[in-house]
Amino acid sequence: MADTADVVVVGAGVIGGAVAYYLAREGAKVRILEQEAIGSGASAHATGSISLVGAEFVPGPSFEEALESYRMFPDLVSALEEETGMDLLFQRKPSLRLALDEEEERLIEDLRKWQMELRPTKWIDGDEVRRIEPRLSPNILKAAYEDESSQLDSYRLTLALGRAAEKRGAEMQLRKVTGLITEGGRVRGVETSGGEFHCDTVVLAAGAWCADFGRDLGYTIPVRPLKGERLLLKYEGDPLPVLISSPKRGHMISRLDGLLSVGSTGGRDYDDQSLFLGVEFDRVPTEVARLELLQRAVDVFPVVESAQLVQQLAGSRPLTPDRMPILGPVPGWEGVMLATGHATKGIHLAPITGRVIADYVLRGKTDVPVDMDAFLVSRFDASDSHDYREAGKNVDE
Ligand SMILES: Cc1cc2nc3c(=O)[nH]c(=O)nc-3n(C[C@H](O)[C@H](O)[C@H](O)COP(=O)(O)OP(=O)(O)OC[C@H]3O[C@@H](n4cnc5c(N)ncnc54)[C@H](O)[C@@H]3O)c2cc1C
């Protein structure tokens, strides 16, 4: 006989975990199904940067959603740490967005033109940058200084969301979902490698794999993998006092466990000469990415020449053509929700995604102060072909 739940969540990445947690908090009977392991997709490989001043968001609902999710983190982290006993290595520090050349200066200034109203930063010159951190490169021309930005361990966050959801009654099983059970215009459950599960609602939170479910629904789900790699270094000196990023060189963050995170690759290298995009679901670390990331790190923080490489991580982010997530029902169907396409910002956007999808499932609407219609999948209906290459460029995290 088929098993039942109110809601089946497909995928135990940070998004599936957040959706399950917010649903379970409200008493829903939730089943999470994961094909491989918790966080085995993009979520365990992410930097965990929760930042607003990079190139990841655009004016309007994209930035407003990001700001709202940013504000949710302190309370969510406290609740998860209390409920699970885990330390999520959450830190809040000032940030510097560095310009090492005139092009980076222009890229930062372009963003500041519209970001200043919602997220003020101030320009400081290279000497002031080096007063904050004397070991930073003498080639740094300027930086945008932000009073506060945040970062945490993305794998721990993913595990904590799943664990806290379980403590509130959700059940998790390692099963690959192989198809959707449909009846008329309704989704009634899922077929898996271990039998059928029936439910009122299926939430597709399968990251870059979500496109597979388009076949059962007769609807294109425009998501593709965007490979990303980053490095963890062991550097014996004091940790950096600020969170660092630069438009062409990505991020550099001293984590609370003492390791230095450097990354990440995205759709292009920093001279825009070669593209990393294009190898489907390839999660193998590469030498070309390692060398580029080490070079970027040395450009910004020359003392890391003496650092040791501890780990190289690679994952596939779920990329949409406009790099904004897809959140909400699939047109023409009842009982199925999409929660995917978070690209380079799925850790950052996990809290608001969990809350909004729980609202949609339980109440049919949400009252978060953001125009969430901007994230419906129907925004892509008018176009048959999409430019994922453009969307995959300019990655910090
Ligand atoms: C190098 C790198 C650095 C990053 N840095 C940051 C950062 O600093 N800040 C930030 O906000 N974001 C960052 N990201 C992006 C972030 O990791 C992703 O946006 C986020 O993890 C996506 O979460 P997800 O749950 O949608 O997908 P995933 O984590 O990929 O989870 C999807 C899950 O679904 C499972 N699944 C797939 N198909 C099935 C099926 N048929 N049945 C059952 N289970 C299935 C998969 O096994 C997987 O576990 C980074 C990503 C990378 C790769």
Output the domain CATH number for residue 384.
3.50.50.60
Q: Is 14 in the pocket of ligand 1 (CB under 6 A)?
A: yes
Same structural domain, 256 and 376: no
Same structural domain, 232 and 117: yes
Final residue of a domain: which of 283, 301, 319? 319
Tokens of 65: 């959603």
Asked if pLDDT for residue 35 goes beyond 70, the answer is yes
Ligand 1 centroid to Cα of residue 164, in Å, is: 19
CA distances from 161 to 44, 84, 164, 181, 334 (A): 13, 9, 5, 27, 27
213 in a structural domain: yes
Same structural domain, 134 and 242: yes
**Ligand 1 pocket: which of 282, 338, 347 to mutate (most atoms <8 Å of CB)?**
347
- Other beta carbons less than 10 A from residue 136's beta carbon: 23
Same structural domain, 231 and 313: yes
**How far apart (Å, rounded) are the C-alpha atoms in residues 33 and 12?**
7
Same structural domain, 284 and 305: yes
Domain count, the chain: 2
171 in a structural domain: yes
H/E run at residue 360 = helix 350-363
69 in a structural domain: no
Can you give the pLDDT at residue 389?
78
**How far apart (Å, rounded) are the C-alpha atoms in residues 255 and 261?**
7
Nearest residue CA, atom 18 of ligand 1? 346
80 in a structural domain: no
**Ligand 1 pocket: which of 32, 34, 89, 348 to mutate (most atoms <8 Å of CB)?**
34
Ligand 1 centroid to Cα of residue 7, in Å, is: 20
Give 386's pLDDT tier (boundaries 50, 70, 90): confident
The model's pLDDT over 287-309, given as tens digits with 9 standing for 90+, comes to 988 999 999 999 999 999 999 99
Report the candidate in 100, 35, 76, 85 with the shortest Cα–Cα distance to residue 281. Answer: 35
Ligand 1 centroid to Cα of residue 339, in Å, is: 11
Ligand 1 centroid to Cα of residue 328, in Å, is: 18
Average pLDDT for the chain? 93
Asked if pLDDT for residue 278 goes beyond 80, the answer is no
CA–centroid distance for 379 within its chain: 21
Tokens of 22: 């917010």
Q: At what angle do helices 350-363 and 154-167 cross, to 10 degrees?
A: 30
Same structural domain, 236 and 310: yes
Same structural domain, 164 and 233: no
| CB-CB contact of 371 with 364 (8 Å) | no
Q: Is 340 in the pocket of ligand 1 (CB under 6 A)?
A: yes
DSSP-assigned letters across all residues of 192-207? ETTEEEEEEEEEE--G
Nearest residue CA, atom 3 of ligand 1? 46
Asked if pLDDT for residue 396 goes beyond 70, the answer is no
Same structural domain, 325 and 294: no
Residues 24, 30, 36, 42: is their CA dihedral positive or negative? negative
How confident is the model over 311-317, as a mean pLDDT? 93
Lowest-pLDDT range, 110-124, 252-266, 269-283, 337-351? 269-283
Q: Is 31 in the pocket of ligand 1 (CB under 6 A)?
A: no
Backbone dihedral region for residue 304 (phi beyond 0: left; psi -120 to 50: alpha; all else: beta): alpha
Can you give the pLDDT at residue 282?
76
Query: Which one-letter amino acid corresponds to residue 47?
Result: T
Can you give the pLDDT at residue 1?
47
Same structural domain, 274 and 134: yes
Ligand 1 centroid to Cα of residue 208, in Å, is: 7
Q: Is 315 in the pocket of ligand 1 (CB under 6 A)?
A: yes
Same structural domain, 239 and 310: yes
Give 351's pLDDT tier (boundaries 50, 70, 90): very high
Can you give the pLDDT at residue 268?
59
Q: At what angle do helices 61-84 and 350-363 cross, to 10 degrees?
A: 90
H/E run at residue 230 = strand 224-234
**How far apart (Å, rounded) are the C-alpha atoms in residues 390 and 343?**
13
Asked if pLDDT for residue 196 goes beyond 70, the answer is yes
Final residue of a domain: which of 304, 319, 334? 319
Nearest residue CA, atom 16 of ligand 1? 346
For residue 264, what is the domain's CATH number?
Answer: 3.30.9.10
How confident is the model over 247-271, as a mean pLDDT? 87
**Looking at residue 330, what DSSP letter applies?**
P
**Ligand 1 pocket: which of 8, 9, 22, 35 to mutate (most atoms <8 Å of CB)?**
35
State which residues form the domain around 180: 3-47+156-222+321-391
pTM for the model stands at 0.96
The model's pLDDT over 55-89, given as tens digits with 9 standing for 90+, comes to 899 999 999 999 999 999 999 999 999 999 999 99
Same structural domain, 144 and 166: no
Residues 34, 38, 40, 46: is their CA dihedral positive or negative? positive
How confident is the model over 127-148, as a mean pLDDT? 98
**How far apart (Å, rounded) are the C-alpha atoms in residues 248 and 260?**
18
CA dihedral 211, 151, 39, 32 (to 10 degrees): -80
Asked if pLDDT for residue 277 goes beyond 60, the answer is no
Can you give the pLDDT at residue 3?
82
